[in-house]
Amino acid sequence: MSDFTPIPYILDSSVLIDVARGDADLIGFLQDFDRAGHSLIIPSLTAAGALLDSQGLPDAQALLTGLAAFEHTTVAPLDGIPQAAKLAAMVNLMSSTELNSFDAHAAAIADVAICPILTLKASMWAWLSSTLDAPLHIIEIADPDQ
Amino acid sequence: MFLLTGQRHLSMMPSMSGEKKERITITVDPDVARYAEHLVATGKATSVAAVFNDSVAAKRIADQHGLALLRERARSADPERVARMRRHVNLQLAEQGFPAAPGE
């Protein structure tokens, strides 16, 4: 019997943007991840940022809708003033980084829930992570051979 | 709160499964309820049950369309590259004290 305990993984804007663009290898990776029982979280504001970046791409919204329909995927809403305040604090911290400001929602969830963030570029998260009381867990989706 | 007593002839869309419809009780936002009743009153829907049935059916179609698109793209993925990405991710997870995906 496996002792595997699924934990949720938060998708940042770099991942959502590439899904919206139809990146086959990334979509294949996430599909396998879901089939393996991993929970994926799509922060709703981060999804909004990905759709903003994907304006003009006809399948962008449908692809993110499909991702949200994966068996183990959840779209995280922004709920209430305390969460809005947490988001505002993250946006303020992130203003001097190359992170997309829509990633503040991913950061806020990760900081509260202690869940790893899946990203295509871990270095973008390094400074923000180092400034928080508890560093974020950043996992880079990359092909080490490329 | 609505008691949805959807009969097959009330829905604007036929049952896709061909099964007899089920009776369920749902709680919805007041403005949504008022709008559903408005659609019925103005003849745009045959019943409140039909409004909710059609809304969920539309969401299901959108979800299935999105999933089909994703699966179509995933069929173009390079399985060896995806496997390398998965190993790379699992290595990082292990380094940070998280469990890897089963079967790795």
Report the CATH number at residue A61: 3.40.50.1010
Name the residue facing B102 among A36, A140, A143 (closest C-beta).
A36
**pLDDT tens by residue, B78-99:** 999 999 999 999 999 999 988 8
Does the CA dihedral B34-B40-B43-B44 come out positive or negative?
positive
Minimum CA–CA partner of A34 in chain B = B101
Q: How far apart are CA A129 and CA B31, in angstroms?
A: 42
Low-confidence ranges of chain A (pLDDT < 70): 1-5
| Check: complex ipTM more than 0.85 | yes
Name the residue facing B81 among A33, A36, A143 (closest C-beta).
A143
Q: How far apart are CA A32 and CA A45, in angstroms?
A: 25
Bridge partners of A138? A117
Residue B39 located in a structural domain: yes
Question: What is the distance of C-alpha B92 from the center of its chain?
Answer: 33
Domain extent for B13: 2-95
Q: How far apart are CA B58 and CA B28, in angstroms?
A: 18
8 A C-beta contact, residue A43 and residue A109: yes
Residue B69 located in a structural domain: yes
**pLDDT tens by residue, B16-66:** 566 788 888 999 999 999 999 999 999 999 999 999 999 999 999 999 999
Residues of B in contact with A144 (CB under 8 A): 84, 88
The predicted model scores a pTM of 0.83
Residue B102 located in a structural domain: no
In the structure encoding, which two tokens stand for residue A128, read together? 């923000």
Residue B101 located in a structural domain: no
The H or E element spanning position A21 is none
Domain count, chain A: 1
- DSSP letters for B23-72: PEEE---HHHHHHHHHHHHTTSSS-HHHHHHHHHHHHHHHHHHHHHHHHH
Angle between helices A13-20 and A44-53 (to 10 degrees): 50
Domain extent for A104: 8-140
Confidence of residue B13 (pLDDT cuts 50, 70, 90): very low
In the structure encoding, which two tokens stand for residue A96, read together? 């001097």
Give the minimum alpha-carbon distance from B11 to chain A in angstroms, rounded to a whole number. 25
What is the pLDDT at residue A28? 96
Name the residue facing B89 among A66, A69, A139 (closest C-beta).
A139
**Subunit contact B88:A143, Cβ cutoff 8 A:** yes
Number of residues assigned to chain A: 146
**Subunit contact A145:B102, Cβ cutoff 8 A:** no
Confidence of residue B11 (pLDDT cuts 50, 70, 90): very low
Residue A146 located in a structural domain: no
Domain count, chain B: 1
Task: List the helix and strand counts (H, then E) for chain A.
Answer: 7, 5
A135 touches chain B (CB under 8 A): no
8 A C-beta contact, residue B37 and residue B2: no
Minimum CA–CA partner of A66 in chain B = B66
Q: How far apart are CA A88 and CA A106, in angstroms?
A: 12
Confidence of residue B1 (pLDDT cuts 50, 70, 90): low
